Amino acid sequence: MTGTRAAPWPLSRRSIWNPRGLPLANRDIVAIGASAGGIDILRRIVAALPADLAAAIFVVLHIGPSRSILPDILSDAGPLLARFAENGERIRHSRIYIAPPDVHLLVADGHVLLDRGPRENSARPAIDPLFRSVAENFGARAIGVVLSGALNDGTAGLKTMKHHGGIAVVQNPAEATVPSMPQSALNAVDVDHIASSGDLAGLLTRLVAQTAVPGAPLPAEPGRAESITVASEIAFEGGEAAPRGATVLSCPDCGGRLSMVENGSVVRFTCTVGHVHTAESFLASQAIEIERALWMAVRANEERAALLRKLQEDAQRAKRFGASKLWQERAVEYENHAKSIRELLTRGDFVPRIGSDTEST
């Protein structure tokens, strides 16, 4: 799509200045999180945004390490320039910064920071790290948006943004392709706006034009985004800066012991490495582990049965009929084991079912 793109101006952490040197205090940071079902709604939003939007937009879509053409999709959809964020670049208005594959998108002191830190909610890029860093750096100037997606990434981060004076916006779960993420945000956060896909662009345009009212005070010194952990997030909100206590649970990403962190109605589990899981994402990861282990059991039993069949044939040719019968009985035993486990897996009534939380772009 061709068209005039607005000349963007750089953003600082605490204020933004126009060419005449006058301070602007509008809500000029928009952080959007989406997962499964999010691409179409993102296209609808950017298609209806003005070319001179006085805000920078940050987008995290759960794409994992997969190759993505999301910048091309969003640039073609509307007048704003969309591209993968680059580490260290200055934040500017009228730009859409997209989290690249397999890295977290963060902000720090008016600049972009890309980080391959531990996954959160089994995702990298994840939504919560972006929302936390935006809240800590831009406070009441921020607008957080949670769109369609499975599980509940974005809920805790939106809560932190709200605490710091930001505006919380959620797509109407009733019309979301996958309603889990927006519904989770509604359940845990005092959301300011619930909007349909057709109304989100207009709502964001109006919110960006508003003067940002003072929210919670920002820290005296700029925080490095990689230090904005779950524990520090709670410290920002006046709570305990340390996990509440160790659990008997093991991190599905690294096997380390998990500690529970509570922030109101939001409960998460974090390990010493830094992996973070909500209860829902932890259960989903466990379901994947269970299924993987069961398929490994199918393979191991089938391979063992195949080896025993070979031993049976060798014994039969050597006329060692007693040994041949023994190998045959054991082969049948392992074949039956494999068959039983395979039936459990294909029936789907044993392993917890998890919906896909990724979308090809």
Predicted local distance difference test score (pLDDT) of residue 279: 80
* Closest C-alpha among 228, 271, 239, 229 to residue 253: 271
Predicted local distance difference test score (pLDDT) of residue 358: 42
- How is residue 122 written in tokens? 């089994």
CB 260 within 8 A of CB 253: no
Predicted local distance difference test score (pLDDT) of residue 105: 96
Q: Considering the candidates 115, 128, 153, 357, report the single residue annotated as catalytic.
A: 153
Active site residue 62: yes
Q: In whole angstroms, what is the distance from residue 266 CA to residue 132 CA? A: 14
36-77 pLDDT, tens per residue? Answer: 999 999 999 999 999 999 999 999 999 988 899 999 999 999
| Residue 107 confidence (pLDDT) above 70 | yes
Residue 26 in 3-state DSSP?
Answer: strand
Predicted local distance difference test score (pLDDT) of residue 225: 45
Predicted local distance difference test score (pLDDT) of residue 351: 54
3-28 pLDDT, tens per residue? Answer: 344 444 455 544 443 333 434 468 99
Tell me the pLDDT of the chain averaged across its residues.
Answer: 84
Q: In whole angstroms, what is the distance from residue 14 CA to residue 25 CA? A: 9
Look at 211-215, 311-315, 331-335, 337-341 and tell me which has the smallest mean pLDDT: 211-215
Binned at pLDDT 50, 70 and 90, residue 271 comes out as confident
More confident residue, 279 or 237: 279
| Residue 221 confidence (pLDDT) above 50 | no
Give the residue-averaged pLDDT of 90-114. Answer: 94
Active site residue 148: no
- How is residue 13 written in tokens? 């952490």
Predicted local distance difference test score (pLDDT) of residue 222: 44
* Closest C-alpha among 23, 188, 2 to residue 11: 23
142-153 pLDDT, tens per residue? Answer: 999 999 999 899
| Residue 79 confidence (pLDDT) above 60 | yes
Terminal-residue alpha carbon distance, the chain:
18
Q: Considering the candidates 28, 35, 164, 275, report the single residue annotated as catalytic.
A: 35
Q: Which CATH architecture has domain 16-209?
A: 3-Layer(aba) Sandwich (3.40)
Q: In whole angstroms, what is the distance from residue 52 CA to residue 241 CA? A: 41
Predicted local distance difference test score (pLDDT) of residue 103: 94
Predicted local distance difference test score (pLDDT) of residue 240: 44
Give the residue-averaged pLDDT of 324-335. Answer: 95
Alpha helices per DSSP H over 70-123: 70-77
Active site residue 153: yes
Q: Considering the candidates 62, 104, 111, 275, report the single residue annotated as catalytic.
A: 62
